[in-house]
């Protein structure tokens, strides 16, 4: 692998040189674990020393540089692939290549991480609703200033879907997420959009699951229509008021859902009502 012609590509040469510098700076440490190797290669990618589409050195060469077995190296590469930092291609022109990440991929990864964290380390619904309001209100000034006709059209398309009788609850919740994502995209700021949209993608479904029994779909669609109208008129004060009112309503629904669940958990087992076959048998004794 190290002696193949493809190793003389620019990306491969960069990969070998940078991996060699990373190895030479390890100060003679023992054989690194997969986590250590993955961390070092990841650092090269993050710092831009291994650019998009660059080819990493072959497995045999990397294993020799890091003084590990090829199975250990493969485990490190698997970790990088799981982080969507590299991809592996088979064949004569194959190998491991640095991925070219865009904002959409970054948002999906961030949302997936947040969703996993919310599932493994539950956060209070109040904190979730608070985070959503803080992010949406942070987006509001830029969205008012920069929103375009395309953003308004996309939001109105979601509102129409939400108002359609044929729309299922699952489709409604997905539309709710997309509506707020478009709102974040209207800021025109990719960093702010990444943060806000990723959080919305992760927490909006959670809030919908908590409050779906109390959902008034017509009221939600109307609220979204008011938000879109404020955005169209570039009415920042009115928009902030609508966002705050929407958050307050969500908090009320969450509180009601929690009270309902607490009541069910505390309720004693249902007693027989005195009707039915069992009661009839008792009355004949």
3-state secondary structure the chain: CCCCHHHHCHHHHHHHHHHHHHHHCCCCCCCCCHHHHHHHHHHHHHCCCCCCCCECCCHHHHHHHHCCCHHHHHHHHHHHHHCCCEEEECCCCCEEEECCCCHHHHHHHHHHHHHHHHHHCCCCHHHHHHHHHHHHHHHHHHHHHHCCHHHHHHHHHHHHHHHCCCCCHHHHHHHHHHHHHHHHHCCCCHHHHHHHHHHHHHHHHHHHHHHHHHCCHHHHHHHHHHHHHHHHCCCHHHHHHHHHHHHHHHHHHHHHHHHHHHHHHHCCCCCCCCCCHHHHHHHHC
d(CA 148, CA 144): 9
Averaged pLDDT score across all residues of the chain: 80
Question: Of 45, 69, 98, which residue constitutes the final position of a domain?
Answer: 98
Q: Does one domain contain both 231 and 157?
A: yes
Burial class (CB in 10 A: 0-12, 13-18, 19+), 8: exposed
Q: Does one domain contain both 19 and 135?
A: no
Give the model confidence (pLDDT) of 116-160 as tens digits.
777 777 777 778 888 889 999 999 999 999 999 999 999 999 999
Residue 276 lies in a domain: no
Q: Does one domain contain both 250 and 143?
A: yes
Residue 271 lies in a domain: no
Q: Does one domain contain both 81 and 110?
A: no
Average pLDDT over residues 10-15: 49
Question: Of 43, 70, 98, which residue constitutes the final position of a domain?
Answer: 98
Q: Does one domain contain both 108 and 94?
A: no
* Longest CA pairwise span in the chain (Å): 96
Q: Does one domain contain both 94 and 109?
A: no
CATH code of the domain covering residue 169 = 1.20.120.530
The answer to whether residue 272 scores a pLDDT higher than 50 is no
Q: Does one domain contain both 116 and 253?
A: yes
Residue 34 lies in a domain: yes
Residue 278 lies in a domain: no
Average pLDDT over residues 246-263: 78
Residue 20 lies in a domain: yes
Give the model confidence (pLDDT) of 27-59 as tens digits.
334 445 799 999 999 898 888 888 888 999 988
Q: Does one domain contain both 62 and 46?
A: yes
Q: So what's the pLDDT on residue 153?
A: 98
Q: Does one domain contain both 163 and 69?
A: no
Q: Say which residue, 194 or 13, is predicted with more confidence.
A: 194
Q: Does one domain contain both 248 and 112?
A: yes
**pTM assigned to the model:** 0.65
Count: domains in the chain = 2
Q: Where in the sequence is the domain holding 72, given as residue range(s)? A: 8-98
Q: Does one domain contain both 160 and 245?
A: yes
Give the model confidence (pLDDT) of 55-87 as tens digits.
999 888 999 988 889 999 999 999 998 888 889
Q: Does one domain contain both 24 and 118?
A: no
């Amino acid at each position: 692998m190290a002696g193949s012609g493809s190793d003389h590509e620019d990306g491969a040469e960069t990969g070998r040189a940078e991996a060699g510098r990373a190895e030479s700076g390890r100060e003679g440490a023992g054989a690194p674990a997969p986590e250590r190797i993955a961390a070092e290669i990841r650092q090269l990618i993050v710092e831009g020393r291994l650019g998009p589409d660059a080819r990493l050195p072959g497995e045999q060469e990397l294993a020799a540089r890091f003084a590990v077995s090829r199975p250990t190296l493969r485990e490190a590469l698997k970790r990088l692939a799981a982080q969507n930092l590299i991809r592996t291609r088979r064949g004569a022109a194959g190998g491991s290549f640095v991925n070219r990440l865009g904002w959409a991929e970054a948002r999906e990864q961030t949302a997936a991480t947040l969703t996993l964290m919310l599932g493994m380390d539950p956060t209070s619904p109040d904190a979730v609703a608070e985070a959503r309001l803080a992010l949406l209100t942070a987006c509001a000034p830029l969205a008012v200033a920069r929103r375009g006709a395309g953003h308004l059209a996309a939001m109105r398309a979601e509102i129409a879907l939400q108002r359609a009788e044929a729309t299922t609850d699952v489709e409604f919740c997905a539309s709710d997420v997309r509506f707020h994502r478009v709102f974040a995209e209207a800021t025109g700021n990719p960093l702010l959009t990444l943060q806000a949209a990723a959080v919305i993608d992760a927490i909006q479904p959670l809030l919908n699951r908590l409050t779906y029994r109390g959902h008034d779909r017509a009221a939600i669609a109307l609220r979204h229509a008011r938000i879109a109208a404020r955005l169209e008129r570039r009415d920042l004060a009115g928009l902030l008021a609508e966002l705050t009112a929407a958050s307050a309503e969500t908090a009320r629904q969450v509180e009601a859902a929690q009270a309902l669940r607490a009541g069910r958990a505390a309720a004693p087992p249902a007693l027989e009502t005195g009707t039915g076959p069992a009661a009839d048998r008792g009355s004949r004794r």
